[in-house]
Amino acid sequence: LNPTRAGLFTTLQEMGADLAFENMREEGGEPVADLRAKFSDLKGIEVPPERAASMIDEYPILSVVASFATGTTVMRGVKELRVKESDRIDAMARGLEACGVTIEEDEDTLIVHGMGPGGVPGGGTCATHLDHRIAMSFMCLGMAAQNPVSIDDGGAIATSFPIFEDLMGGLGAQIERT
């Protein structure tokens, strides 16, 4: 809950997410809490560019969430995503398009035209560019899309979250290796 890294929570709440922070405490000098989330209809918003620093690594998953919102989500001030482990703006745009989501982008902006709850067709194969955050984001997309979503390589996930696949399986993900 460190305010310099909690921009995603603020953004999700602005979109209408029902989030509750429970058991707030400090661990390792950082404020932490247990997060309780309930289903809620989300709406597209304009994310202020000054928030980018507090959530730069969360834009891939935000773009997935925005796909299921009603309306358009505009993310400006995100050009740093072009020079992370991959060009994350391009990777998310191409993958979301492959799954039926309408995207606009320029050097510093990603715009996702949300399809509402349950509205993302899915069915696409998404290139991860060996980027763990891209791979995890598209696996999450596959959990909520109408049709399965494939990724070209999930190996990079082990770099940051080696138990991610097990946790996804515990949530009902049907992961097949080909």
Residue-wise pLDDT tens digits, 77-88:
999 888 888 899
- Which tens digits make up the pLDDT trace of 8-47? 999 999 999 999 999 999 999 999 999 999 999 999 999 9
57 is catalytic: yes
CA angle 171, 160, 17 (to 5 degrees): 50
Note whether residue 79 is domain-resident.
Answer: yes
- Which tens digits make up the pLDDT trace of 116-152? 998 999 999 999 999 999 999 999 999 999 999 999 9
Whole-angstrom distance, CA of residue 46 vs CA of residue 64: 15
Residue 124: per-residue pLDDT: 97
3-state secondary structure of 165: helix
Across the chain, mean pLDDT equals 95
Which residue type does 174 have? Answer: Q
Note whether residue 12 is domain-resident.
Answer: no
Note whether residue 107 is domain-resident.
Answer: yes
Residue 156: per-residue pLDDT: 94
Reading the block at residue 171, the tokens are 């949530």
126: containing domain: 42-169
Reading the block at residue 97, the tokens are 């398009």
Note whether residue 69 is domain-resident.
Answer: yes
- As a whole number, mean pLDDT of residues 165-175 equals 94
Whole-angstrom distance, CA of residue 12 vs CA of residue 130: 27
Separation in Å, CA 160 to CA 26, 62, 137: 23, 18, 13
- Which tens digits make up the pLDDT trace of 1-19? 887 788 999 999 999 999 9
Is the CB of residue 91 less than 8 Å from the CB of residue 99?
no
Residue with tokens 């060996």: 130
Q: Is the predicted pLDDT of residue 97 greater than 90, yes or no?
A: yes
Residue 58: per-residue pLDDT: 95
Q: Could you give the number of structural domains in the chain?
A: 1
Note whether residue 17 is domain-resident.
Answer: no
Reading the block at residue 153, the tokens are 């390589």
Note whether residue 2 is domain-resident.
Answer: no
- 155: pLDDT confidence band, cut at 50, 70 and 90? very high
Nearest to 91 by CA among 101, 82, 99, 104: 82
Q: Residue 111 sits in a domain of what CATH number? A: 3.65.10.10
Q: Say which of 18, 34, 41, 57 is annotated catalytic.
A: 57
Q: What does the DSSP assignment read for 115-152?
A: E-TT---B--EE--TT-HHHHHHHHHHHHHSSB--EES
